[in-house]
Amino acid sequence: MGSTLTPTMLTFTALGPFQAWTDGDPLDLGGQRQRAVLARLLVAGGHAVPVSTLIDELWPGNPPAQALSTIQGYVSRLRRALEPDRAPREEATVLVSASPGYALRALPEQVDSWWFQSLVKTDGPAPEVWAAMESALALWRGPALAEFAELHWAATEAARLEELRLIAVERRADAGLAMGRATAVVADLEAHAAGHPLREEAWRLLALALYRTGRQGDALGALRRARTAWRDELGLDLTDALRRLESDMLAQRVPEPPALPRPAEPGAAPPRPGEPDAPAGRPLRVLVADDQALVRAGLQVVLSAEPGLEPAGEVANGEEAIAAVRTARPDVVLLDIQMPHLDGLAAARRILADEDPPKVIMMTTFGSDENLYAALRAGVSGFVLKTSPPEQLVAAIRAAAAGDALIDPAVTTRLISGFSGRTDPESPPALAGLSDARLDLLKLVARGLTNRQIGQTLSLPEPQVTEAVRSLLDHLGLFGRAQLVVAAYESGLVTPGTVATR
């Protein structure tokens, strides 16, 4: 029998940095406006987009005289990138001509935003909904279509997808409550309600989750916070449904939750595929530094409930964080960028300057780009939003501990795009003298690929890639993967919007 060729798998990601991939390898989609053509067709969900619409939406109010031929050139180059083996006169099957314009042909599972929407619509028993929402939320790697945010169509689609993400968070929590998992959803709902205080469902679920964990006072307090927020923002009282829930809680008429299954013994759960092993066979120890007691409490719940993670303490300011790192010796520090006495940026610099420092993840609600960029230069492992769902926080902690990939590449790319090319007396070393192999490796690291993805790209075993990255850090006198990214951009080896080549 003859051998069978394995077909390549083309995928598209829009829930975070926009990219197309072939079998996990990123494709070169060209410059910003050419990428925007593909993104606009993706947003259309497989329907044809007229050429006139593409022109109007890519050059709002001021299209160039050669706009039509420019669009045609973009499409031609995108087709070559998406189907490199297609014969010159063969019909395109991915980016197709569809009168009066073009359309993207793909299966829902090939496009993360399409698959996300399909998952969010899942109905059925609570365990099925829980699993579907978990899978849907795990697809998010950052803000949707952020690099096209100045274009109206992209901003509209991003807002629609974000609304669906909030619905998925609430559907997951609702399913969790039906399954008796109130403890597992409290921290997520605290962050959700704090980040979106005008969402009725967020407060209902949070109050119910707190009540079902035996925290009646906290549950009523959540409804009081909702009432305050609504009066301050809208001049309104709570809805009838929330007032009834409050009354039922005061009268203790809320139904009891189903019996919880007995939790597994600590350490009994095996590590998930791809997760780093804990140092020396023990759980990853995580220190939380934040001046808000509610945030600290929520993070402690997440850490305590996650197999393989363990709280290493909590502190309320930068000075306490530095002292706690030196006494508790955590593996990872979750560090708020804005704190009293000593802010998170200054604390991060001092923590990372010590011998054998822990990994540091900056937590932010907004933060100035100047401060975030300075933190990236200092060697933090990345950034997470305080409102991130627990699964994203856990993934961030594990990624930082493994030193395998930057967290939230959308934020990182935005910052580097804004600040690359700046001169600084403390900038990373020049890259002159590096071998071609090391330069190729640095390009791939700078584009956000994990060691596993780099190994697939360069046809190298992952342990060899890990050792090569470590050797490159030593050679350049750097200690963090984030600093490698900054070095690549500031030296001009990689520029925002390009894709590293093999």
| Band of residue 158 on the pLDDT scale cut at 50, 70, 90 | very high
Q: Where are the alpha helices (DSSP H) in 14-125?
A: 32-43, 51-58, 67-82, 112-120
Given CATH 3.40.50.2300, say whether it is the number of domain 282-419. yes
Cβ 127 vs Cβ 102: under 8 Å:
no
Going by the DSSP 8-state scheme, the letter that residue 110 receives in this structure is G
pLDDT in tens, 320-378: 888 899 888 999 999 888 877 677 877 888 888 777 889 998 887 654 455 666 677 67
Per-residue pLDDT at 485 exceeds 80: no
Instruction: Provide the terminal-to-terminal Cα distance of the chain, rounded to the nearest Å.
Output: 34
- 410 or 250, which is more confident? 250
Q: In CATH terms, are 282-419 and 436-490 the same topology?
A: no
Going by the DSSP 8-state scheme, the letter that residue 30 receives in this structure is -
Give CATH for domain 436-490: 1.10.10.10
Question: Quick one: which H or E segment has residue 164?
Answer: helix 152-178
Q: In what order do the strands lie in the sheet with 49-50?
A: 49-50, 101-104, 95-98
Domains of the chain, residue spans: 8-165, 180-259, 282-419, 436-490
- Residue 209 pLDDT: 92
Structure tokens at 174: 């609702």
Biggest CA-to-CA distance, the chain: 75
Pick from 179, 184, 185, 231: which is nearest to 204 by CA? 185
- 376 or 74, which is more confident? 74
Structure tokens at 78: 């995108």
Per-residue pLDDT at 137 exceeds 80: yes
Which CA distances in Å does 245 have to 6, 43, 60, 175, 253? 56, 40, 49, 18, 9
CA distance 404 to 481: 8
pLDDT in tens, 78-102: 999 999 988 888 899 999 998 889 9
| Band of residue 411 on the pLDDT scale cut at 50, 70, 90 | low
**Angle formed at CA 6 by CA 461 and CA 80, multiple of 5 degrees:** 90
Per-residue pLDDT at 483 exceeds 90: no
Per-residue pLDDT at 27 exceeds 80: yes
Q: How long a stretch of residues is the chain?
A: 502
Q: Name 6's Cβ contacts closer than 8 Å, sequence gap at least 6.
A: none
CA distance 487 to 331: 25
**Angle formed at CA 440 by CA 438 and CA 445, multiple of 5 degrees:** 90
Share of the chain above pLDDT 90, in %: 37
Q: Of 58-67, 221-230, 291-300, 427-436, where does mean pLDDT reach its minimum?
A: 427-436
Q: Is 473 exposed, middle or buried (0-12, 13-18, 19+ CB in 10 A)?
A: middle
Coil, strand or helix at 262: coil
Q: Of 127-136, 188-197, 292-301, where does mean pLDDT reach its minimum?
A: 292-301
Q: What is the mean pLDDT of residues 121-127?
A: 89
Cβ 22 vs Cβ 8: under 8 Å:
yes
Q: Where are the alpha helices (DSSP H) in 379-476?
A: 390-402, 409-419, 436-446, 451-458, 462-476
**Domain 180-259 adopts which CATH fold?**
1.25.40
Which CA distances in Å does 105 have to 32, 94, 275, 448? 21, 5, 34, 27
Q: What is the mean pLDDT of residues 43-54?
A: 94
CA distance 497 to 502: 16
Per-residue pLDDT at 405 exceeds 60: no
φ, ψ for residue 196 (rounded to 5)?
-135, 70
Give CATH for domain 8-165: 1.10.10.10
CB atoms within 10 A of CB 426: 6
Structure tokens at 124: 């059925």
- Helix, strand, coil percentages (3-state) for the chain, rounded to 5, are 50, 10, 40
